[in-house]
Amino acid sequence: MCGAHVHEAAEPTPTGAGPRLAPTRRTALLGALGIGGGIVASSALAGVSASAAPAYAVKTGAADATGDRVVMLGVNGGPKINAGQAKPALALVVNGRTYLVDCGYDTPNQLVKSGLGFTTVDQVFITHHHLDHTSGLPGLMLHGWTDPKPLPSKIGVWGPPSTTRMLEGIDAAFGRDIRLFEKGGGFGTRPVVKGHDVRLAEHRTITKVMEDENVVVHATRVSHGPEVRNAYAYRFTIKSSGKRVVFSGDTAAPDANLIALAHQCDLLVHEAQDNDLIPVLLQFVAADQRDALREHLLVSHSNVIDLPGVAQAAGAKSLAFCHYTPLPQPASVFLGKAQQAASQIGYTGSIVAPVDLDVITL
């Protein structure tokens, strides 16, 4: 059920710009882990600009959101499961089609909760092969197929080398289970899943990955530590409006390739880490593992206070956070630190610190 396809042709970065973005939905659950316990409410769905803060409309549910938008299905980074928080998955909805960027463990449930469901998800883009970004793929490909409004008949999954092999592994592990439902239960035939191994040049380049009637997708390499050779960021150019949305994946800021990919984009969705919490996290880690974890966090991820500078260097009109690490805390803390940094350097774009299931309209 899986096929391989490789993309290597590089293309120049397109130009163009669009208006600021406004989030239209929020949920307010962020759990606290090891630092006080309980669940805390987030009031972080707000923008900041050195000139004037834009107005944001908050709705009570995502199902009534219309138009092109980004749905933050999951924004909690790292492999550890945290109660009440979903692993990385971001949905770009264009002309009613859902382009999924990463597919963390909770993605199938989050698609249902968001109101998007499965029927419009026919393209998935993986930024890198860390399990918090990929562990939801089996659930999506297996359970999404059996929904009353199921997955499309053909699905493309794009990602770094070994993406195709990973999908073939799902088929190998669950093939018998799949065939049982295909033979009985009224579910029909499981969708054809085609893997696309995207190979990017080692040097600085921006490569066209995919194009359909709605979007053009480009990718570039980003730095996510020495152990992850292939980590990608993606840029989606929406054909109907010319707006450009960039997803950083996991990367250490500032990343020159990412800044080039995000040049004059309308929205940069970037991972965010609060480095002030690293010493707190290390207290809960075995002594012989602390140095390695500290090195990984500092070398492989992005301090939230550096992100306004990244957005400014790229000329990004708006900045949104995702993949919060290293410990759960209110998203408003990330926003406050970014606001202070933005004020110091004069970044005038809007900044949003969304939580799970928030919607940013384009």
For the stretch 257-266, pLDDT in tens is 999 999 999 9
Residue-level pLDDT at 135: 97
**Percent of the chain beyond pLDDT 70?**
82
Global pTM?
Answer: 0.85
Residue-level pLDDT at 64: 63
- Cβ-based burial of 51 (10 A; exposed 0-12, middle 13-18, buried ≥19): exposed
The 8-class DSSP code of residue 146 comes to: G
From CA 311, how far away is CA 317, in angstroms rounded? 8
Per-residue model confidence as pLDDT tens digits over 79-131: 999 999 999 999 999 999 999 999 999 999 999 999 999 999 999 999 999 99
pLDDT at 357 > cutoff 80: yes
DSSP E strands, the chain: 6-7, 22-25, 30-31, 39-40, 69-74, 89-94, 97-101, 121-125, 154-159, 192-198, 207-211, 215-221, 232-238, 244-247, 267-273, 318-325, 350-352, 359-361
Q: Are 59 and 25 in contact (CB under 8 A)?
A: yes
pLDDT band at 4 (very low <50, low <70, confident <90, very high): very low
From CA 106, how far away is CA 271, in angstroms rounded? 18
Residue-level pLDDT at 63: 53
**In whole numbers, what is the pLDDT of the chain averaged over residues?**
85
Determine the angle formed by the axes of helices 331-345 and 307-314, rounding to 10 degrees: 50
Q: Which residue has the higher pLDDT, 4 or 201?
A: 201
Structure tokens at 358: 């928030």
pLDDT band at 184 (very low <50, low <70, confident <90, very high): confident
**Percent of the chain beyond pLDDT 90?**
76
Alpha-carbon dihedral of residues 32, 246, 224, 298, nearest 10 degrees? -50
pLDDT at 324 > cutoff 50: yes
pLDDT band at 156 (very low <50, low <70, confident <90, very high): very high
pLDDT band at 360 (very low <50, low <70, confident <90, very high): very high
Per-residue model confidence as pLDDT tens digits over 37-93: 222 233 344 444 333 333 333 333 455 678 899 999 999 999 999 999 999 999 999
Per-residue model confidence as pLDDT tens digits over 284-294: 999 999 999 99
pLDDT at 193 > cutoff 60: yes
Q: Which residue has the higher pLDDT, 308 or 9?
A: 308
Residue-level pLDDT at 56: 36
Q: Point out the least confidently predicted range of 63-67, 312-316, 336-340.
A: 63-67
Domains, the chain, in order of start with CATH, read 27-361 (3.60.15.10)
pLDDT band at 10 (very low <50, low <70, confident <90, very high): very low
Polymer length of the chain:
362
pLDDT at 186 > cutoff 70: yes
Q: Are 273 and 302 in contact (CB under 8 A)?
A: yes
Q: Rounded to whole angstroms, what are the CA distances from 334 to 63, 128, 275?
A: 27, 24, 10
> Residue 125: which of 156, 152, 97 has the closest Cα?
156
